[in-house]
Structure 1
Amino acid sequence: MRAPLGHFDNAVAAPDCLDLLTPPVAEAVRAWRGQVPADQLIYVDTDPAIADTAVFAEHYGPELLGESANCVVVAGRRGAETTLAACVVLSSTRVDVNGTVRRQLGARKASFAPMDTAVGETGMEYGGITPIGLPGDWPLLIDSAVLDTDWILIGSGRRRGKLIVPGKALADLPGALVLEGLGI
């Protein structure tokens, strides 16, 4: 199989390589019910030593700079209550944590979740967190620009490997809420 973007030596439909994914991501792919068929979720093998966006794009294809998205875990606090959520924005932008995220979560304060919280709550590796396979009761805030991208490169749940999926597929994930201006 050939990856729909980038220059990858190994691309395979995600349902055919569940053993390469973390358990929550593999389970989400196995149970996939989105409008986009699961075989359009493509796993590509990548070198975790060159995961930095600029170096990654230099190695796997400069077009990836505009067709990559980051998924980050945030914590919104109001009093003693903390709400965890995930945000997906194009990698060329950053998450508007103190504006859009804080307001959407109804929080007095919002910040990036600590690494141990993000890893422990998602069951994924830090630097590889993906919106596919997140806890189903979490809000999943997605910048509208991500959905407007034909194919988007996202994490696979591990630092090694990425997923390439149609941008519109992310709107079908549990808890998905599409927002304008999430990425600034």
Structure 2
Amino acid sequence: MEEKKNQNSNNIAMVECPFCNKPIEAPDKADVIFTCPNCHKELITYDKVERKKETLRNERIKQEQIYKRYKKKFKWGSIIVLIISLYLYTKNTSDYTYNNPRQQDIQMAVKNYLKQNLDDPDSYKSASWYGFTYNKADKTYSIWHQYRHRNEYNAVQLETQFFTLDSQKNVIQVRDGEDFVFN
């Protein structure tokens, strides 16, 4: 029912019947049942503003529910990604070898060298390995190694050293991490 602009002072509005499309007088109040005098169909009045508010309210509630669902999915997805990231970050990399048999051999040679040359070989604990390279020109291997051990004063020390090994996997040079300047 479309409400027309001209209204009587007795709370009567001129509207168009949705069935016969003829103008009729209808009560100006919402939710009043009356009959069309032309086609005799039963009609009910309604408040367009209130109905629009109710429709908007229902749409807003639906949107909030959708937003909450996506927010919940995003939160759980973020938590899963965070857990996986933390797992990968904190995974013990002390003997991580990238499945390279030569690197495993080099690491073992360095460990043996350290156990022979440390003040307290039983206190040796590997922390990390990185920077494994092979120099084809002079047939040498090099690797960075970070480890803990007890020194001559029985204090635990964290060392970072760069080891160079020959083709027979013998340690030929050891440099402390502080000796290097990276460009």
Which bin holds the TM-score, normalised by the shorter protein? under 0.3
Higher percent of residues as strand:
2
Q: TM-score, normalised by structure 1?
A: 0.22
**Based on CA coordinates, which of the two structures has the bigger radius of gyration?**
2
